[in-house]
Amino acid sequence: MVSTGEIAQPTRYETTNVDEVRHYLRDLYVDARIELIGNPAEFTFRDAVWSRGRFFLARMSHTSSITSTTDGDRRLLIGRVINGGFGRELINGQNNNYYRKNDCFLTADPDVACRGRTDDVDLEWVEINRQDLAAVAGDFDPPQFLDLDPADPVAASVLTGAIALTETTLNGPEPDPGSLLLGELSRMIAAAALACFPNTTWSDTPPPRHDRADINSGVIRRAVGYIDSHLGEDISASDIAATAHVTIRALQYAFRRHYGISPMTYLRRARLDQAHRELKAADPTQTTVTAIAAHWGFPHPSQFSALYRSTYGIAPSHTLRND
């Protein structure tokens, strides 16, 4: 199996041997029966993988054309075609399509067989972590996707933007983005996927009555205590709810009732306060606003600056320089 090291240094793989590609795909992606179309002497396969814990992003390409048959994908992946083409036909006949430049799609369920063809393709894969998918959706179990194609071009553009931000962060100046920032990026991808692809959360079903009855001051006390003592760790709504001994929906209801915000917004504001304290105490010759923002889980510098300015009435760079 291919091993991966530090996330800032992707693991790179290259071969001109189709049989080696079969083994590579089986170890890291899916057990696929593949056949090369064309001259083997003109075939090259490349893959670069950033992977740590539940975070997975890859950039894959190959020359010539390949046909493949799989019995379903182990990973829940978003694919985006950068160049070339990717054709996919589900054996159950529910989703047949050919994707071209800038098209996005989801991989098939693990129990759905699939036939495919890739032609001189350059594409990227981003994994949707099921735990983060459940947390973003506000439940203990991840929602189910109802279609493998985006609902509309606008939704697809939101997803593309989230993936682009992830790539920019991984290719940024920081040698290691850290688990806190990676967790934020993973949840951002999950949220963008839920906004892009039709799924079982797209309904107006109200929260169960027993969720609303679970609320008391002890819930808030336990939840806030857990958040405040784990600000530097990658925690989710499901972690907070488990500590408070309630469902995620009950937790969200409690926070909106007591604070007017969600628990994750409370967490983000608490981390912003920590970033503010760190900026005030930092040496501007030894660190940067971007580094401190990333340390506290804010991947986009301009969004961090806007949030910081709206909260403290001053740019973070001024706080760092003690202007």
Which of helix, strand or coil describes residue 68? strand
Q: How many folded domains does the chain comprise?
A: 2
Average pLDDT of the chain to the nearest whole number: 84
Q: Tell me whether residue 23 is in a domain.
A: yes
Q: Do 156 and 212 belong together in one domain?
A: no
pLDDT in tens, 109-124: 766 788 889 999 999 9
Q: Tell me whether residue 75 is in a domain.
A: yes
Q: Do 210 and 113 belong together in one domain?
A: no
In total, the chain counts a number of residues equal to 323
pLDDT the model gives residue 3: 38
Which of 166, 192, 226 terminates a domain? The answer is 166
**CB contact burial 87-107 (16+ within 10 A = b; e otherwise):** bbbbeeeebeeebeeebbbbb
pLDDT higher than threshold 70 for residue 311:
yes
Confidence label for 5 from pLDDT (cuts 50, 70 and 90) = very low
- DSSP bridge pairs for 116: 68, 88
CATH number for the domain harbouring residue 61: 2.60.120.10
Please state the rounded mean pLDDT for residues 212-222: 67
Cα-flanking dihedrals φ and ψ of residue 292, to 5°? -70, -40
Q: Do 124 and 212 belong together in one domain?
A: no
Which of 166, 197, 219 terminates a domain? The answer is 166
Instruction: Look up residue 84 and give its two tokens.
Output: 């070339």
Which of 114, 142, 166 terminates a domain? The answer is 166
Q: Is 243 left (phi over 0), alpha (psi -120 to 50) or beta?
A: alpha
Q: Tell me whether residue 174 is in a domain.
A: no
**Cβ count within 10 A of residue 266:** 19
Q: Do 142 and 50 belong together in one domain?
A: yes
Q: Tell me whether residue 172 is in a domain.
A: no
CATH number for the domain harbouring residue 317: 1.10.10.60
Confidence label for 239 from pLDDT (cuts 50, 70 and 90) = confident
pLDDT the model gives residue 53: 73
Q: Do 86 and 16 belong together in one domain?
A: yes
Q: Do 209 and 160 belong together in one domain?
A: no
Q: Tell me whether residue 219 is in a domain.
A: yes
User: Averaging pLDDT over each range in 130-144, 160-174, 225-239, which range is the top one?
Assistant: 225-239
Please state the rounded mean pLDDT for residues 83-91: 85
Confidence label for 47 from pLDDT (cuts 50, 70 and 90) = very high
Q: Tell me whether residue 4 is in a domain.
A: no
Q: Do 132 and 212 belong together in one domain?
A: no
Q: Which domain holds residue 259?
A: 205-321
Residue, of 121 and 246, whose pLDDT is higher: 121
Q: Do 253 and 317 belong together in one domain?
A: yes
Q: Tell me whether residue 173 is in a domain.
A: no
Helix (H) or strand (E) holding 106: strand 104-106
pLDDT higher than threshold 50 for residue 179:
yes
- DSSP bridge pairs for 220: none
The answer to whether 271 and 299 are in contact (CB under 8 A) is: no
pLDDT the model gives residue 214: 45
pLDDT in tens, 248-289: 878 888 888 888 888 888 898 999 999 999 999 999 999 999
Q: Tell me whether residue 91 is in a domain.
A: yes
